[in-house]
Amino acid sequence: YFPNGQMSDERLSYKLGFYDWFLDYAQKLRDEGNSLIVTGDFNTAHNEIDLKNPAPNAKRSGFLRIERDILDKMVNMGYVDTFRHFYPEAVEYSWWSYRFNARKNNAGWRIDYFFVTRDLIENNIVKDAFIDNDIFGSDHCPVGLVVQV
């Protein structure tokens, strides 16, 4: 679970600091020769396709350019957003607010990810990624990854 930055400027700074710490830590693991699967609620929608209403949310934590830049940085560091890799044009979400009938209206955000190091894609270890948005019971739905070693 990556921190949420919506409560205050201090909380946003904490979120951004956590992202930086995490990427440094992950890089140390990669420098040791490890392949990585990074998963969880990142609390950031990466691109406009990843949320229902990008324009009105552009100044809201979770879709701020500064937050999205960190996900761009991950990609530039050699991580692959597995769902977007397999489904580049799919409009699916993994989180909906409990307010305003968001889930019923499918006004969601894709903030839950599986990022993997590129070698896991290139070596055909990652076979598929999915969002199971037919599962209810939370404001999030399950996301998954199919791997074969």
Catalytic positions, please?
41
Q: What is the DSSP string of 16-69?
A: HHHHHHHHHHHHHHHHTT---EEEEE-S---SGGGBS-HHHHTTSTTS-HHHHH
The closest of 44, 45, 49 to 18, measured between CA atoms, is: 44
- Measure the CA–CA gap between 112 and 93, rounded to whole angstroms: 9
d(CA 39, CA 131): 13
Say which residues have a Cβ less than 8 Å from residue 31's Cβ, sequence separation at least 6. Answer: none
Count other Cβ atoms within 10 Å, centred on residue 36.
16
